[in-house]
């Protein structure tokens, strides 16, 4: 199909989205831009900076004061917040801004990741190694449950982005190799692999695979996304709260669920 890129999670990004992402990436990763902004060192981490330009390349709309907060992006109509981790940290902003205007929360999810270690003494960067963990949209539930009470608000939408990333970590932890308890220095986006937009409760039906046999447990739902069950309990909490799944019994110690009936349209 012309103009459409299919992703590994069967969500689509358009050719225009891919172009915008590459443009934002090139803009931030230019050496003079990194030096000017202090990316990865002082002011702003690279993933956050790239996504801000991806969402809106107009710098005049960046870092705008509104109602006692600083919005990552405000275009005069909608606030866009780039939140790379801990969605719970934006609850105060949501309390203030959702009654005033539409708010989009953009949350990136590592898809494929390559890790390089930095010697904290010399600054030398070691060989790049690919992580065996592959993230999916389902991974977002570990964060979405932190703001589950806001997800039904008509002014809130969530944009999940799957990113391939290069991660740089300081080898400053404990153990013989200095990796346990180490600190992350920065992450560099490589490519945009998928997008999921959640604007209303019924959009969360996207998390229920069509071929998932009912009734199912939370662990079986997670396994269908190859998530290894790490976000299973949070997913069940969020999806039940939104009315997307309903509890229909138990199998052993596990609750059983099925997708709720939704009217057409």
Distance separating alpha carbons of residues 260 and 238, to the nearest angstrom: 13
pLDDT score recorded for residue 9 = 43
Sign of CA dihedral 231, 233, 236, 237: negative
Backbone angles phi, psi at 67, to 5 degrees: 50, 45
Is omega for the bond preceding 215 within 30 degrees of 0, making it cis? Answer: yes
Least confidently predicted of 37-46, 60-69, 145-154, 173-182: 37-46
Distances (CA, A) of 86 to 108, 144, 208, 209, 227: 11, 9, 24, 26, 19
CATH match for 207-265 among 1.10.630.10, 3.20.20.70, 1.10.357.10, 1.10.10.10:
1.10.10.10
Q: What is the DSSP letter of 261?
A: P
Residue 195 has pLDDT above 80, yes or no: yes
pLDDT score recorded for residue 38 = 45
pLDDT score recorded for residue 76 = 95
As to burial, measured by CB atoms within 10 angstroms (0-12 exposed, 13-18 middle, 19+ buried), residue 202 is middle
Which range scores top for mean pLDDT: 1-5, 68-72, 208-212? 68-72
Q: How many CB atoms lie within 10 A of CB 8?
A: 12
The answer to whether 155 touches 105, Cβ cutoff 8 Å, is no
Residues of the chain with CATH 1.10.10.10: 207-265
Please enumerate in sequence order all residues whose Cβ is within 8 A of that of 45, keeping only pairs 6 or more positions apart, or say none. 39, 84, 186, 187
Q: How many CB atoms lie within 10 A of CB 173?
A: 13
CA atoms within 13 A on the CB side of 130: 6
Model confidence over 26-80: pLDDT tens digits?
Answer: 988 875 455 554 444 444 689 999 999 999 999 999 999 999 999 999 999 999 9
Residue 4 has pLDDT above 90, yes or no: no
Distances (CA, A) of 235 to 27, 94, 152, 249: 36, 21, 15, 17
- Tokens standing for residue 222: 């997670």
Model confidence over 214-250: pLDDT tens digits?
Answer: 999 999 999 999 987 679 999 999 999 999 999 999 9
Which ranges constitute the DSSP H helices of the chain? 15-29, 31-37, 46-55, 91-97, 141-144, 218-224, 232-241
Distance separating alpha carbons of residues 7 and 10, to the nearest angstrom: 5
């Amino acid at each position: 199909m012309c103009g459409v890129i299919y992703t590994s999670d069967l969500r689509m990004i358009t050719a225009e989205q891919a172009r915008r992402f590459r443009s934002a990436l090139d803009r931030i990763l230019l050496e003079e831009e990194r030096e000017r902004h202090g990316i990865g060192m002082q002011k702003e981490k690279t993933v956050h900076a790239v996504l801000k330009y991806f969402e809106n390349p107009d710098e005049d709309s960046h870092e705008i004061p509104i109602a006692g907060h600083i919005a990552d992006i405000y275009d005069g109509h909608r606030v866009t917040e780039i939140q790379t981790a801990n969605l719970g940290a934006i609850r105060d902003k949501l309390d203030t801004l959702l009654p005033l205007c539409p708010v989009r929360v953009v949350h990136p999810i590592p898809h494929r990741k390559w890790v390089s270690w930095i010697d904290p003494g010399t600054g030398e960067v070691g060989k790049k190694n690919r992580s065996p963990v592959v993230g999916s949209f389902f991974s977002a539930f570990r964060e979405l449950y932190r703001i589950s009470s806001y997800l039904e608000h008509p002014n809130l939408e969530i944009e999940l982005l799957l990113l391939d990333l290069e991660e740089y970590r300081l080898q400053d932890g404990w153990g013989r190799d200095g990796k346990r308890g180490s600190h992350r220095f920065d992450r560099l986006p490589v490519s945009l692999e998928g997008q999921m937009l959640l604007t209303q409760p019924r959009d969360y039906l996207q998390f229920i695979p069509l071929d998932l046999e009912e009734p199912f447990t939370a662990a079986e739902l997670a396994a269908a996304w190859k998530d290894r069950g790490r976000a299973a309990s949070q997913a069940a909490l969020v999806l039940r709260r939104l009315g997307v799944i309903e509890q229909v019994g138990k199998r052993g110690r596990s609750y059983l669920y099925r997708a709720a009936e939704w009217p057409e349209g």
